[in-house]
Structure 1
Amino acid sequence: MSRVTARRPTLRITSTSQVQRPDTLAVEEPLELRINGTPLTVTMRTAGDDVDLAHGFLLSEDIIGSADDIESARYCTGKDIDGPNTYNVLDVRLRTPAPVVRRAFLTTSACGVCGKTALDQVRTRTRFPLNGTGPHVTAGTLASLPEQLRSYQRVFDVTGGIHAAGLFTSEGAALVVREDVGRHNAVDKVIGWAMRTGRVPAHDLILIVSGRASFELVQKAVMAGIPILGAVSAPSSLAVDLAAESGLTLAGFLRGSTMNVYTGAHRVQTDSQFTRPATARANGTY
C-alpha cells in the first residue's frame, strides 16, 4: 500500500445503477513526535515530509527558533502487527535542553484559552515580528496563486480529500507545495521546508492555503515571520483578530478575480485592470 493513498471498496450509487468498485483515499496515519526521547504530541497526518512537519510544528510552538536548534530527527522503531516499521514515531534531538512544554498547544482548537490570551501569547512569543515588513504583491498575482497551488495537488487529483499549502514569492513563483489530510500539517510542512533551507524568517514570502484560514494557521504564519496569508475560503473571527494584532496581511475568498482583504491591505497593490500574471515558476520542490 502507498503511504500517501490507499484503496478501499465502495458501493457507487447513481440514479440508474449500483456498482461495487474500489475508491482511492488519502491515507491518514498517526505521527508521534518525541523530544529527546520523551513523547510530546500525536498528530494525524498523511505520511511524507515528516521531518519538515516536525520543524514547522516546533517553530510554531516556540520550541525551536532555527534548524540549528535540532541535532537530529530519526524514526523510532514502531512495528505494526505484521512486523515492518510503521515510520510513525519521530524522535527529535535538540542541541540544548528542551524548554518546559505545555501539553495543551495553542494550535489545538479546544485548548481552552480565551481569545485575548491567545492573541497576546502569539504576539509575545514570535521571534520574527512583522513590524510592517514584507513584500508588496499585486492583486492580480495574489489572485492567481490558488490556481497555481491547485495545479500541484497531485494527491487531491486522485482522492479529492486532502488539503494543501504553498509558499510563493511576491512575483508569483511557487517555491514549495505540500499536501496533507490536516491543513495545519500541510502548513507545518512548508514552514519546516523553509526553515531547513534557510528561509525563516520568511519576510519575503506568501503563504497560500486551500481551505479556510483558522486561528492556528495565522499563528503559524506569524511565528514563521510570513507577512501575507491567502486562503481559498473564509477566515475565522479570531484569525482576523490575530492577523490585525500581528501586522499580517490576511486575504480570504481568493477565487477567480475577487478576494476579501481583511487586514494589512497596504501590502496588496490594486489596479483598474486587475491583471493576472503569467504563471511564474521557481526552482522549488513539489
Structure 2
Amino acid sequence: MPGAPANACLTVPAQRLGTGGRSAVHDALAAEEPLELRLHTPADPLPLAVLMRTPGHDRELIGGWLLSEGLLPAELSLSPDDENPNVWHLHTPEWERLAAGARLGVSSSACGVCGTGSIERLAVRAGPLPVSGPPLPWPLLAGLPQQLQAAQPLFRDTGGVHAAGLFTAAGELLAAFEDVGRHNATDKVLGWALRQRLDRSALVLCVSSRAGFEIVQKAVMAGVPVVVAVGAASSLAVDTAQAFGLTLCAFVRQGRVTVYSGAERLELPDALP
C-alpha cells in the first residue's frame, strides 16, 4: 500500500486562537507544488501540462492524468528531470497527437476539468460502461469511506488533503492516494491501477470529496463503473453518470447512500411502503 511521501507534509509556525486565548504552534500543512510535464518533439520540448499537486507518486499521477484525459500513448517513456524534481519528461512516437491535444487546450488546466468540458466531447472518447458481475450490496458501498479514511495518514496529520481509493467488488481496498486536489488523488490511483495492469471494469472508485464532473469524467475514461463519494454530487456529474451508465453514489456517510445513477449494479433494500 503506497504511503505518504516524506515531502508531502511540512510544518510552519502559526498562532492558534480560541476562547481560551492565543497560543503559538507549529502546524502541519499538506505540501502543494506544480508539476510540469514536458513533451519532447523533434524540435523542442513542449509544455504539455502543469498540475498543482502534493509531491510524491508523480509517475502514477502522470499516468493517470494521461489515461483520464484520453492522451495515453501506446508507447511512452517517462523520466524525472535531473535537476528539477517538479519537471518530468515524456518521450513517445505519438508526440504529434499529444502536441495537438496540448494546442487544443486539453492539457492546459490544473483543475482536471478543462479539456473535456462537456458530455458531448467526452462521448467522442468513451463509450457506455457495461453492467457485469453480481449486484453489489449497498451496505458494502456504505462502508468504503470509513476504510478510505483509515488509509489517509496525510489527512490525519494536516486535515488538508483529499483521497481516492480503488476497491474490489468484495470491498477490499487495493490502493489509496492523497493529494491537495481531489482530481489529482483520483489520477494517482487510476495511474497506479494502470501500472498494475488491473481490470478496471471490476473496480469501485471511492473519493473523500464531492463527486464533481471531473471525478465522473475520469472514471468513465478509465473504465471504472462505480463511483462512491463522501460529499455531494453535482448536476453535471449526475448527467454524465447517467449518460455513460456509471453507478454514482454520493452523500455516502453514517451508513447511508444516495444513488443517482446505475442502480442496476446494486443489491437494493426493499422499498418503503
Q: Shorter-chain TM-score: which interval?
A: 0.7 to 0.9
CA distance in 1, matches of 2:115, 2:92: 29
Give 1:94 shift. Answer: 1.8
Question: 1:180–1:208: structure 2 CA closer, same or farther, 3 Å change rule?
Answer: same
Identity over aligned pairs, percent: 42
Q: Is 1:57 equivalent to 2:61 in the alignment?
A: no
Question: 1:106–1:76: structure 2 CA closer, same or farther, 3 Å change rule?
Answer: closer
Contact 2:50 2:108 in 1 (8 A): no
Give 1:98 shift. Answer: 3.9
Q: 2:206 — aligned with what?
A: 208
Match of 1:73 among 74, 78, 83: 78
Contact 1:63 1:98 in 2 (8 A): no
Give 1:34 shift. Answer: 1.6
CA distance in 1, matches of 2:255, 2:95: 49
CA distance in 2, matches of 1:113, 1:149: 28
CA distance in 1, matches of 2:261, 2:151: 28
Letter in 1 for 2:70: D
Question: 1:10–1:149: structure 2 CA closer, same or farther, 3 Å change rule?
Answer: same
- Per-residue CA deviation, residues 185-233 of structure 1 (Å, 9 max, x unaligned), is 0000010011111125x10000000010010110000000000001000
Corresponding residue SS for 1:125: coil
Q: 2:259 — aligned with what?
A: 261
What's the TM-score, normalizing by structure 1? 0.84
Letter in 1 for 2:188: K
What's the TM-score, normalizing by structure 2? 0.88
Q: 1:183 — aligned with what?
A: 182
> How well do the aligned residues superpose, as a CA RMSD in angstroms?
2.1
CA distance in 2, matches of 1:111, 1:225: 20
Q: 1:174 — aligned with what?
A: 173
CA distance in 1, matches of 2:75, 2:159: 35
- Per-residue CA deviation, residues 62-105 of structure 1 (Å, 9 max, x unaligned), is 1116xxx243211114xxxxxxx441011122243341112245
Question: 1:220–1:269: structure 2 CA closer, same or farther, 3 Å change rule?
Answer: same
Contact 1:61 1:106 in 2 (8 A): no
Aligned pairs, how many?
Answer: 257
Contact 2:81 2:88 in 1 (8 A): yes
Match of 2:105 among 88, 103, 106: 103
Letter in 2 for 1:59: L
- Per-residue CA deviation, residues 253-286 of structure 1 (Å, 9 max, x unaligned), is 00021111000011111246xxxxxxxxxxxxxx
Corresponding residue SS for 2:143: helix
Contact 1:135 1:205 in 2 (8 A): no
Question: 1:139–1:106: structure 2 CA closer, same or farther, 3 Å change rule?
Answer: farther
Note the residue ranges of structure 2 that are not aligned, 5 or more in a row.
none
Question: 1:62–1:140: structure 2 CA closer, same or farther, 3 Å change rule?
Answer: same
Q: 1:280 — aligned with what?
A: none
Contact 1:106 1:216 in 2 (8 A): no
Moved more, 174-183 or 55-64: 55-64
Letter in 2 for 1:103: G
Note the residue ranges of structure 1 that are not aligned, 5 or more in a row.
78-84, 273-286
